[in-house]
Amino acid sequence: MMPLPIMVGATNTQPHDLEFTCESANPNPGELVYLNASAIDDEQDQLRYWWRFYDNGDVEEGPRVTHQFMQAGAFYVMLCVDDGVLGEDPTPSMLAKVISVGENSPPSVSLPNYPNVPLREVYSFKSDCTDLDQNDSIRLTWIWGDGTLSVTNHQSTGGTFTATTQHTYIFRGDYNVTVWIDDLTNLPGHNVSDYGFVHIGFWNHAPIIQSFDVDNPAPFAGEEVTFHGLVTDLDSDLCDLNFTFGDGTWLTVYQFLPNTSLSVTHVYSTPSVYLAYLDATDGVYPAYTADPILIEVSPPEFTLSLVAGWNLISVPLVNQGYWASTLGLPTSSIVVGGWNSTTQNWDKVYVVGVSPPFKDFAIEEGKGFWVMTPASGTLHLYGDIPTGLQSMTINISGSGWALIGLNSLKTWHASDIPAMYSGGNVRLVVIYDAPFHVYKSFIVELPFTDFSIPPGCGIWIFVDGGGTLSYYA
């Protein structure tokens, strides 16, 4: 620095209200920062600014300077301002600040292979990039392997982002493409690369949908159906098959071998009429969409076999609102329900076709009940498939029996029931085996007494206190 001429003014005051800013305020190592200074001089003297950086001892001059902190840490920056006049105050004026420099993470890049890029077509290439420092400016250099290169610039998102650029190959062949990623910090290891293989073949053919079908075009709501799609490609490309079910949902599946069929399953939850579609792509061209399939979804039906005599049953579907008279039982069948856990007694009995209407009663969801039929037969029950958390409250003071039914189409086990109950303990689980007219009991302390509980079966549980039975249908 050349020294300024020294002038003398007895009443001269030194520069004051010094200030400077650093952009960015919390830089990364290697990041170029901009420092801007200001000061006030009452005598309008020409001011001289200079800076001392305590990370490396550099000195810079001027009201606006740049600097790079090359390592992480907290560093003093001293600003000095001199008006070149000796007066009543000493000069120069000084202001020091601490600049915190964070740790900069190196970037990374991942480039996939492109086994079938069309010749003489503009094609989009993508690379997955990661830079954890949101302030970094990213430069990607694409070396295409055909004697050309491209440069694209990006701003770090503070994580992973996808960089896309386009290139056209004019000769057939195999190329090694290299992508370099640089966060422009000049730090060691912050300019790294990855490479991928590109094959430029003959003119690409669009895939063809050979067939599209479903195993059951008229399912019940909640019933699983299976769609099949066969897509072929003359170039033996692996294709993506997109099944659109018509109820606002879709599923994309991928071929692992060329020219193979794929299958997907789906469950329609609401009765209605739907149109299902199939489309496909080889990554370059789409296939023609297959003709839609009409799917007619009916309300759920549950079929329950009854034996002649007594049957302990429940209705596993929900929201139908059955009554004893509307179950579809033959005349003279007896329906016994309304087990009162508090009084340990029955409240309701109805004889189909015989009892007066006031004897009729609603079938409670989540409760078991008895049915006596004069002959074996099939009971067709309708309703909605239960989903989510189910719960029922069992009011028992002390201990006693409760008669329940599970609102679920799952097959449970007696050993599942104790874990469902809170507020008390389940000591026994009892099922009635209608074909043999016997009871089977699960004793909690004896695991080998476990048995399965099929849908539509009523069960007795003996508990030592009231509580709540909760389970996921």
pLDDT value at 382 more than 80: yes
Exposed / middle / buried, residue 254 (Cβ in 10 Å: 0-12, 13-18, 19+): exposed
Report residue 349's pLDDT band, with 50, 70 and 90 as the boundaries.
very high
- Label residue 202 by pLDDT band (50, 70, 90): low
Query: How far is 206 from 253, CA to CA, in rounded Å?
Result: 18
Sheet hosting strand 224-232, strand order edge to edge: 208-214, 224-232, 261-267
Q: Residue 35 in contact with residue 65, Cβ under 8 Å?
A: yes
In contact, 363 and 337? CB cutoff 8 Å: yes
Q: What is the DSSP string of 198-211?
A: EEE-SPPPPPEEEE
Summary mean pLDDT of the chain = 91
What is the predicted pLDDT for the residue at 33?
92
Q: Among 122-136, 145-159, 195-209, 358-372, which stretch is predicted with the lowest mean pLDDT?
A: 195-209
Mean pLDDT of 147-168: 94
Q: How far apart are CA 168 and CA 362, in angstroms?
A: 73
pLDDT (tens digit per residue) in 24-54 = 877 888 888 999 999 999 989 899 999 999 9
pLDDT digits (tens, 9 = 90+) for 429-442: 999 999 999 999 99
Element at 420 (helix H, strand E): helix 417-420
| pLDDT value at 279 more than 70 | yes
pLDDT in tens, 53-87: 999 989 999 999 999 998 888 899 999 999 888 76
pLDDT in tens, 402-433: 999 999 989 999 999 999 999 999 999 999 99
288 confidence band (pLDDT: 50, 70, 90): confident
- Measuring CA to CA, which residue among 135, 109, 254 is closest to residue 195? 109
Q: Is the pLDDT of residue 101 over 80?
A: yes
User: What's residue 168's pLDDT?
Assistant: 92
- Determine the pLDDT at residue 400: 95
For the 7-101 domain, the top CATH level (class) is mainly beta
Amino acid identity of residue 297, one-letter, is V
- Structure confidence at residue 9 (pLDDT): 53
Region 279-297 average pLDDT = 88
Q: Tokens 């902190």 belong to which residue?
A: 69
Our CA dihedral for 326, 328, 334, 338, rounded to 10 degrees, sits at: -40
DSSP codes joined into one string, 402-419: EEEE---SS-EEGGGHHH
Report the b/e string of 278-292 with b at 16+ CB within 10 A: bbbbbebbebeebee
Mean pLDDT check: name the lowest of 38-47, 281-290, 383-392. 281-290
pTM strictly above 0.75: no
Name the token pair of 380. 């067709």
Two tokens, residue 41: 């001089």
Q: How far apart are CA 334 and CA 374, in angstroms?
A: 9
pLDDT tens figures, 119-143: 778 999 999 999 988 878 899 999 9
Q: Reply yes or no on whether the pLDDT at 182 is more than 80.
A: yes
Instruction: Say which CATH superfamily domain 208-297 falls into.
Output: Immunoglobulins (2.60.40.10)
What average pLDDT does the segment 201-206 reach?
72
Q: Both ends of the chain: CA-CA distance in Å?
A: 83
Supply the pLDDT for residue 1: 47
Lowest mean pLDDT among 3-17, 135-149, 309-323, 397-411: 3-17
**Separation of alpha carbons 347 and 323, rounded Å:** 15
Longest distance between any two alpha carbons in the chain, whole Å: 126
Domain ranges of the chain: 7-101, 108-200, 208-297, 389-472
More confident residue, 420 or 101: 420
Q: What is the CATH number of domain 108-200?
A: 2.60.40.10
pLDDT of residue 203: 65
